[in-house]
Amino acid sequence: MDHLSCDLCGKALLADEPVRYQVRIQVYAAYDPLELTPDDLSRDHRDEIHALLERLAAADPREVEESVYKELHFDLCMACQRRYICAPLPRPAEAAPAP
């Protein structure tokens, strides 16, 4: 038996729950198609490319990767799955009602 627990409430899964739910979230940069003009094609972009490569060389590789793509996996119990389905995106703290 896997020793899984709910990633939200910590309840043991498969032992205490008849079913477990998996949540997979993919977050990736959405790129809209660019409209290229003849001027774009005729310009020399070497300086821009060089500057970009310098910024990438100085950046944290993990941060760069996560700015483009990140995949998250969670296991949920039945109760937390229901709560998640009702509100998959939590409100920012400043908009949440006071406890």
Residue 95 placed within a domain: no
- The pTM score is 0.64
Residue 52 placed within a domain: yes
Residue 63 placed within a domain: yes
21-78: pLDDT as tens digits: 999 999 998 887 788 888 888 989 999 999 999 988 998 988 888 888 999 999 999 9
DSSP E strand boundaries for 20-81 = 21-28, 69-76
Please tell me the predicted confidence (pLDDT) of residue 94: 57
Rounded Cα distance, 27 and 70, in Å? 5
Residue range of the domain that includes 44: 1-30+39-87
Residue 80 placed within a domain: yes
Please tell me the predicted confidence (pLDDT) of residue 3: 66
**pLDDT at 15 exceeding the cut of 80:** no
Residue 92 placed within a domain: no
Residue 96 placed within a domain: no
Residue 76 placed within a domain: yes
Number of domains in the chain: 1
Rounded Cα distance, 36 and 43, in Å? 11
Residue 9 placed within a domain: yes
